[in-house]
Structure 1
């Protein structure tokens, strides 16, 4: 019995060692896969660079050959032309990553600069290369300069400000238009008069005056 227990304990130890070895093997395999993918990307980039260099060298060789055969160029001048073309091609391929990096840095800097100068709510005024219109209104979240006749204006310096377009009403007045679709208001009026017949004759005029008063109250609200 003791021998069986000893064998089981040894088997557990062996299984534990095997699991540890499998885990280490998986880690090594994952690292190898990552390196392989990185190598593939590098080889693909190098292949494109070699293709570009080959085309450039081929074009330089053809130009030198044409100059030598058709234009009467001396052999030394043709070789100089070929060498200059090869140097230019190699320099162009070598500087391309630097140019791409500088281009990305400049583009990011300009984007950050515009975002800091024009801090509009829900995206800058120049968002994704497009101008955001405020014809239907909007909100400015912080102090922002804007051009105006004779100088520069400042809005949002005391906190968020709303941009509300103006519209002209039926009476010709200019102001902010209220949202339509409000709930109708019912007004009930009880009128007592000793001259019922006179009130009946004047009811049209009284109704018109009441409508004008209600309209003025609605505009003021």
Structure 2
């Protein structure tokens, strides 16, 4: 009877190699499972964000339609109110206060595609215009709803109409206040009053005061 010799050492080496390949396949499978789970979680998150954005947009449009048809408000007022609501939605997404905060800011893009110039994060009168940053160190006017960052969130200006930005400066007393125009041209106001007696002159005082107030108001607006 003949017996074939068995290379036990070679067989052991083959088993170790097979075990190493099995471990590598198991590790790769685990990584693939984690990546698939993470991708699914991201898809779910984006789906939730899109769903909430759609619901918020539907509520804003529905409210605007009710104000127009049922409430009898003018179309201009309704569009202004709608612009404010949409600006808030865009701000929540852009500054990360909405669902899935701090993501891509897709709400502003979607609203801009839907409504064009009615509302975009960089609408005319915003701190951004035509791709450039506008400086307001010397003051200016915001004519449209405008978003601006502030501590703890985002602010909205110009939502109820034009708003002015006025520079501040410290006066001689050290107090901080609205800076007046330097080297402004001085002007004199002269009133010629013709009165026949003291009583008629007394009656003219209120008229003179009103005229003076109107003149000062006009001059202040032109500063």
TM category (shorter chain) comes to 0.3 to 0.5
What TM-score, normalized by structure 1, do the two folds share?
A: 0.34
Higher helix share: 1
The structure with higher relative contact order (CA 8 Å, sep 6+) is 2
Which is greater in Rg? Answer: 1
What TM-score, normalized by structure 2, do the two folds share?
A: 0.34
